[in-house]
Every structure is written in C-alpha cells, then in structure tokens.
Amino acid sequence: MAGGGPGPRAGAVIERTLIHVGGPSGAGKTALVEAVLATCDEMILVARCARDNRRRQARETAPRADPELARYRAAGASGAARFSFPTGQEAGEAFFETRLMSDFSHAAILEGDSPLPHADLTVFVAPAPRVGEALFVRRRRDPATADRARADELERLLGEPDGVARWMERIVGLPVGKHVRGNPSLAKGVRAQLLAAVAGARDTPAPRPVERWAVAERFAGIERAGVVVVALHHSGERGRAEQLAAEVRRLRQDRALFDDILGWRGHRTPITAVAADLTDPRDPGRRKAVARIRRSLPRR
C-alpha cells in the first residue's frame, strides 16, 4: 500500500480528517502543507489533485521522481500521490478507492482541486492582492437564468440512479448521503419532493436582474473556507495581505455581503484569516494557521 504505514485491522473502517487546501496556482498551497506536516506527529497522507479535461476517468499516479510529491514526503507525509479526474465528474468514490487512501492515516490533505463534495476543513491560500485590487465586487446577476440552470442541473442529477444521495452529499455532507443511499424508500421520497419543488419554481414568475456583491474571480472559493491564509512573497505585501484577511473576516459580519455571497447556506461561525510568511516558522500568521489546522486532527 502507498505510504508504508501500519494498516488497519481487516474489515475495519478507516476514519480520518479530510482537509482540502485550495487557492490560485502559485499562491503557496504546497508551502502551507509542508508547514503543517513539519509540526505534526500524526500520520498524514497528501494527494495533489487536479481536474483534467483530457481524462475520461479518474487516475492515480505516484512516481518516486515527482518533485512535488518528494516535497510532501520530505516534509513528513506518510504517503503521497497525484489524483486527476475529469471536469464535471463526481470523483469522490474513485478517490477513496485509490491505493493512497487504502493506507492507514489520521488525516488526508487534498491540495488543489477537490474531488470531494465535502471536507472536514477547507483551507484557502490566497496571494496578497495587487495594488487597488478588491476582494468584493459588484456584479449584475440575472436570477432567472441562474435559477433555470440550477433547475436543469438538479433534474439531470435526480434522473440518475444515485442522484439523490449525491445531491445530499453536496448540500449536507457525506454521512447524510450515505444514509440516504442505504434507504431506497427515503431516497424515493426525497426525489419526489425535490422534483415537485423544481416544477413549482419553474411556474413562479421570473425575478428581475439585480446587482449584488460577489467575490472577485481570482479569489473564488475563499468565501467557503474555514481557514484563509494570505501568503506573503515579500515584506512589501504585508499591508495588503493583512487588509485582505480583514476583508475575509468582514464577510461574516457585514449583512449585505453575507446575504449576497453566502446566502442561506452560509454560517456566521468565525473563521481564521491571517497574513503569513509561510517560509518563516516564527511568523505569527503561519503559526496561527497551522495551529488551527492541527485542531481539526483527531485526538489520540
């Protein structure tokens, strides 16, 4: 098995913390993963994940000469692999069936594009904003077009055999999806209710286009993170990085921003948002972010 650690007992269920580390390319995701690994005694697997439009099915690779995987192993990962999957495909099941995830660990870190609908902790590593660049922008939205697209997607999903369970995993989480998957009568009832709701929504008069707050494209995904690290690449970025971290925290305090960006799915639980030099183990922001991530690991 990948990783070489002691395996679980035969027939045992492997339970571990799943941590997703996302953010733009070059922001500092791998540096943060290395910082976490360097301070943990727990057995942690790391998967470098990427959507790939050229693929028809998910694929796992773990070449020993891969420089990025070597960085994980050198930092203390008990196992490391690459996992690529087609865009638009639900790849969670394929991910859990990889050789990497068959090994025992206390946690698994997924860096890059997540193949899972849910993680125990989502971390976003952002670059410091450019001069004059804003996190929040005003955008004109056409709710009618968006509602039709969501209705079409939901109907398509509900038409698939495992669609209800997959929808529940997206909205509520993996445990609820698993429960629905094991109860066909419950899945049938939920499907009927959802299809009726979609039909009712289609009969409702379309709302007019409106202008709302949104997250700037370069930082898309930052709004859903429980931990945000604005990584410094030089000391001159410190002020802008700290301002971005403050704006992230404001998202859950400003009602207009919260309603427009997070909506009914959002929560007001305070998040950890810091500016950090990830190359300096003494940096207060790095230490705070790593400590928060470590608190998500299972207690031994």
- pLDDT tens for residues 254-272? 999 999 999 987 888 889 9
- Mean pLDDT confidence for 200-207: 81
pLDDT of residue 176: 78
Averaged pLDDT of the chain:
90
**pLDDT for 87:** 83
The answer to which of 108-117, 196-205, 245-254 has the lowest mean pLDDT is: 196-205
pLDDT of amino acid 163: 87
How many residues does the structure list for the chain? 300
pLDDT at 20: 98
Q: Contact 141/42 with Cβ under 8 angstroms? A: no
pLDDT at 4 (0 to 100): 41
The predicted model gives 126-145 an average pLDDT of 90
* Average pLDDT value for residue range 189-210: 85
pLDDT at 10: 37
- What pLDDT is attached to residue 6? 42
pLDDT in tens, 70-112: 999 999 999 999 999 998 767 999 999 999 999 999 999 999 9
What pLDDT does 13 receive? Answer: 45
Instruction: Please classify residue 125 by burial: count the beta carbons closer than 10 Å to its beta carbon, then call 0-12 exposed, 13-18 middle and 19+ buried.
Output: buried
Q: What would the 3-class secondary structure string for 184-238 be?
A: HHHHHHHHHHHHHHHHHHHHCCCCCCEEEEEECHHHCCHHHCCEEEEECCCHHHH
Tell me which of 121 and 141 has the higher pLDDT. Answer: 121
pLDDT in tens, 180-198: 888 999 989 988 999 998 8
pLDDT at 285: 98
Residue 47, phi-psi category: left (phi > 0), alpha (psi -120 to 50), beta (remainder)? beta
**Residue 39 in tokens:** 């301070």
DSSP letter assigned to residue 102: G
Spatial contact of 30 and 71, defined as CB atoms under 8 Å apart: yes
Sheet holding 44-51, edge to edge: 59-61, 79-85, 44-51, 107-112, 17-22, 121-127, 227-231, 272-276
Check residue 95 and give its pLDDT: 96
Architecture of the domain whose range is 17-135+211-295: 3-Layer(aba) Sandwich (3.40)
- Could you tell me where the beta strands, DSSP code E, fall in 103-154? 107-112, 121-127, 136-141
Residue 226: name the closest of 119, 100, 99 by CA.
Answer: 119
- pLDDT the model gives residue 2: 40
Does the structure show a pLDDT above 80 at 14? no
Lowest-confidence range among 113-117, 203-207, 247-251, 276-280? 203-207
Distance CA 95, CA 108 (A): 11
pTM of the model: 0.77
**pLDDT value of position 90:** 73
pLDDT for 19-42, tens place per residue?
999 999 999 999 999 999 999 999
Domain with CATH 3.40.50.300 in the chain: 17-135+211-295
